[in-house]
Amino acid sequence: MACIEARGLRKAFGTTIAVDGINVRVEEGRILGLIGPNGAGKTTALNAILGLTSYQGELRVLGRDPWTEREKLMRDACFIADVAVLPRWMRVWQALDYFAGVHPRFDRAKAEGFLAKTTIGRASKVRELSKGMVAQLHLALVMAIDAKLLVLDEPTLGLDILYRKQFYDSLLNDYFDRGRTIVVTTHQVEEIQDVLTDVMFINRGRIAFDCSMEEFESRYLEVMVNPEQIAAARALKPIHERQVFGRSILLFDRVERQQLAALGDVRTPSIADLFVAVLSNQSGAAQGGAR
């Protein structure tokens, strides 16, 4: 069953088209990484999914229209934005009281259990906490809600690498199960590669790439080519080529590993490398069309 299904989803702000007729399907129990440059339409798409902005086209989230049925949707969906939204004057115990009072599926005991793994004091005010602690508090509050969909928009922005690792470890070990779906956007792509089940690239309001991580790992290979083999490697039609320390690294789609092994060192590319390749090819095609 689809957790999120969009057909022809479009959103414009005046003459600026933020989301340009995209089709998206996210199955239940998946972790989707939505990757794109600044201004690509990621946040606008997430806002539509959460019922925070109107849109054109068809969109169903957990079987509901998020714009007209947002109140019902938010009983089963949670959201962590790229900026802390907890009131800075609020104490930690007051945040726990507030969540217990407003959300019927909030489990205070579970939240207390998550916080017990941190150094956050119950009497501390939000403004007294570090960025990392605020992220931990926010995550503890959200993970204690029995939600079917969790949306994370740059959730670790501004945090150091230790807190980022703890964030994703907690997400996987303490929250995720096959009954829940997670959609996450981030610029720290390498850090979530092993977390994701699916990846989607968005650029200029359109979906540029969409596949499961199983397909990603079986389709794409990267080779640091031996200098004497560069002509043979290029003959296999790589989808992208880049230079690192004077060596050519070529990215291939659906070419046998054994065939590539004769050309140099073979490895599975990172999502970031494939992202650059896909967007570079699209940019080149657009420029060629313009000519």
- Higher-pLDDT residue of 150 and 117 is 150
Query: Residue ranges of the domains in the chain?
Result: 2-204, 216-290
Q: What is the CA radius of gyration of the chain?
A: 21
220 membership: H or E segment, kind and range:
strand 220-225
Average pLDDT of the residues in 128-150: 88
Average pLDDT across the chain, whole number = 91
Query: In degrees rounded to 5, what are phi and psi of residue 18?
Result: -85, -40
Cβ atoms of residues 56 and 8 within 8 Å = yes
User: Can you give the pLDDT at residue 83?
Assistant: 65
| Tens of pLDDT, residues 233-278 | 999 999 999 999 889 999 999 999 999 999 999 999 999 999 999 9
User: Can you give the pLDDT at residue 177?
Assistant: 83
Q: 264, 267, 155: which is closest to 222 by C-alpha?
A: 267
User: Can you give the pLDDT at residue 131?
Assistant: 81
Query: In degrees rounded to 5, what are phi and psi of residue 61?
Result: -125, 120
* 11 pLDDT higher than 80: yes
pLDDT range class, residue 283, cuts 50, 70, 90: low
pLDDT cut 70: percent of the chain above it: 96
pTM for the full predicted model: 0.89
User: Can you give the pLDDT at residue 289?
Assistant: 47
* 212 pLDDT higher than 80: yes
Average pLDDT of the residues in 37-62: 95
Give the span between the Cα atoms of 96 and 102, in whole angstroms: 10
CATH class of 2-204: alpha beta
Give the span between the Cα atoms of 215 and 253, in whole angstroms: 11
- Which amino acid, one-letter code, is at 196? L
Average pLDDT of the residues in 132-143: 86
pLDDT range class, residue 23, cuts 50, 70, 90: very high
Cβ atoms of residues 21 and 8 within 8 Å = yes
User: Can you give the pLDDT at residue 287?
Assistant: 46
pLDDT cut 90: percent of the chain above it: 69
The DSSP letter of residue 269 is: P
